[in-house]
Structure 1
Amino acid sequence: MRKRRILSLLLTGILSIGLIGCGNAGASEGNKAKEEDKTIKIGVTPVPHAEIVNAIKPDLEAKGYTVEVIEYTDYVTPNTALADGDLDANYFQTIPYLEETNEGKGYDLTYTKGVHLEPIGIYSANIKSLDELKDGARVAVPNDPSNEARSLRLLESAGLIKLKEAELVTPKDIVENPKNLEFEELEAAQLPRVLEEVAIAVINGNYALEAGLSPAKDALYLEDATTEASKKYHNVIAVKKGNENSQKIKDLTKILTSDKVKKFIEDNYNGSVLPVF
């Protein structure tokens, strides 16, 4: 009987140690998850997105977050990284571009709020007015569907072409082209580099700023930021669907749409970037 009792005690002790070990492992995993939950990895393009996020980085750090700001020079990689879980959020794109990416890539991304608008503009290194455009002039536009459609609508607004009614349009949808403009479709990031080679180029605000251009001063024609149509071009905080209600995304969204950010944008971009909250 005594031997059985000793054996029972030994087994109980071993089981207890095992459970303690499992408990410690569970606690360790829980602590690790908590630590990871206090890290925010956000993907951005350099100007103005990285500048804006870096301006509020101390505010997030004051809430106990470790903030990693990862810069990209294209529009494709930040969404791939977000969909793969390598980022918690990204901040660089408009709503139509996000929707287009979801549809084309099968991603499940959404957004929380819009932060700013970068008016898209028509630029030139060769003429000083759109009145100087010659017959057959070469025009460079972005080649991704949402930005190309936005660019062509801007050219239509400037009175250079007329398009058929459609959500997404390409040069094939031009129904009137009185100056016989020739269109070159290029990656958005490349457009500032071809200014010397074309008559005009339609350039996204962030790439114009990166190239040292001031949309408010240098654009021959600039998108009207006060129209209802411009609302869909707000630059948004994108996240993987299902993560929008996590505490860190709520905190990121709140701080990125704060009075501090509004003042930062107004003080630093002189109307070339406009807060939308």
Structure 2
Amino acid sequence: MTRTIRSLFAGLLALFLTVGLTACGAGAGTDASKPLVVLADATPHTDILKKVDELGVLGDTKIEIKGIAGDIDVNQLTASGDVDANFFQHKPYLDTWLKQQGSEDLVSAATVHVEPLGLYSKKVKDLDAVPSGATIAIPSDPSNLVRALFLLQQAKLVTLDVKPTDKDLDFSQITEKNITANPKGLKFVQIDRPQLAATLDDAKVDLSVINGNYALEAGLKPKTDALTLETATDNPYANLLVVKADKKDDPRVTKLAEALQSKEIQDWITSNYQGSVLPAKQS
């Protein structure tokens, strides 16, 4: 009797361990049959995700797209598991958020596209005509503020003591104090990114540095309307698909990442946006 009970117990223990190991191997909290919930900006992020779905390149993987609305912390919602992934930000923005939170919870699953930052104006027709003492509206958040400064340096309107290609550059520490030359005596006013397009009609602002997605939403055509635009090659501001670190190997994430970086989607971005949104390129 004792031997029988021991044999039965050993069999149950083996069964328990087998089931437990199988569950762990499948990935805790991962159900490949459930849609991957992605929180995304409207333009062009949601458009790109919808095209991925439309082309049928995801196989059996399903995605549920939720739009970003209001003043919400998208990264926090992703880190807490309220959504599976987000698609709205570039690496310097993500790095700044992680540093502020003292966290390493979020990682990039795919580098997808660049929304070229552009310099726009309804008062100035070309870079040579930028007047002395002009006021330029620039983004107020740290990662996009430095991006604006790099764009102005690219346009030879200012000189900085750093370059975007500098190794181990801490983008969050760069401010207007890094300007070493400002021959036209340009003045800067910091504005929240979603409001920058509206400053084109502000009598107190001569030029505005506007993110590509907000330019598109305002009806601007970056390729033709901007006085100068960023390049896509080795651009540190390429937009990312971001997930929790423990979800990076989720097969649904892998499938979506592959689809976003596929030739079909990259070609569609090129043809659909005509230079206003660019596929991310590495030299």
State the TM-score, normalized to the length of structure 2: 0.79
List aligned pairs for 1:203-218, cutoff 5 A: 203-218=210-225
List aligned pairs for 1:63-142, cutoff 5 A: 63-73=59-69, 77-107=73-103, 108-142=105-139
| Residue 146, structure 1, aligned to residue 147, structure 2 | no
Q: If each structure's helix is expressed as a fraction of its own residues, which one has the higher value?
A: 1
Per mean C-alpha deviation after superposition, the further-off stretch among 94-103 and 254-263 is 254-263
C-alpha offsets along residues 216-258 of structure 1, whole Å, 9 cap, x if unaligned? 11100111223x4x1x211111101111001111111111122
Instruction: Give yes or no for contact 1:121–1:219 (8 Å, CA) kept in 2.
Output: yes
C-alpha offsets along residues 63-84 of structure 1, whole Å, 9 cap, x if unaligned? 3444221111579622121112
The runs of 5 or more residues in structure 2 that have no matched partner are 1-25, 163-168
| Residue 257, structure 1, aligned to residue 254, structure 2 | no
Q: SS of 2:209's equivalent?
A: strand
> CA separation in 1, counterparts of 2:58 and 2:154?
46
Q: SS of 2:196's equivalent?
A: helix
State the TM-score, normalized to the length of structure 1: 0.81
One of 247, 252, 277 as aligned partner of 2:251: 247
> CA separation in 1, counterparts of 2:183 and 2:87?
39
CA gap 1:34/1:115 in 2 versus in 1, 3 angstroms = closer
| Residue 188, structure 1, aligned to residue 209, structure 2 | no
Report the Cα offset of residue 182 of structure 1.
1.1
Report the Cα offset of residue 172 of structure 1.
2.3
**Greater gyration radius:** 1
Report the Cα offset of residue 148 of structure 1.
0.8
Displaced runs of 4+ in structure 1, greater than 6 A? none
Report the Cα offset of residue 163 of structure 1.
1.6
Alignment length, in residue pairs? 245
| Residue 270, structure 1, aligned to residue 270, structure 2 | no
CA gap 1:114/1:266 in 2 versus in 1, 3 angstroms = same
The runs of 5 or more residues in structure 1 that have no matched partner are 1-29
| Residue 235, structure 1, aligned to residue 242, structure 2 | no
CA gap 1:112/1:128 in 2 versus in 1, 3 angstroms = same
Q: In structure 1, what is the equivalent of residue 156 of structure 2? A: 159
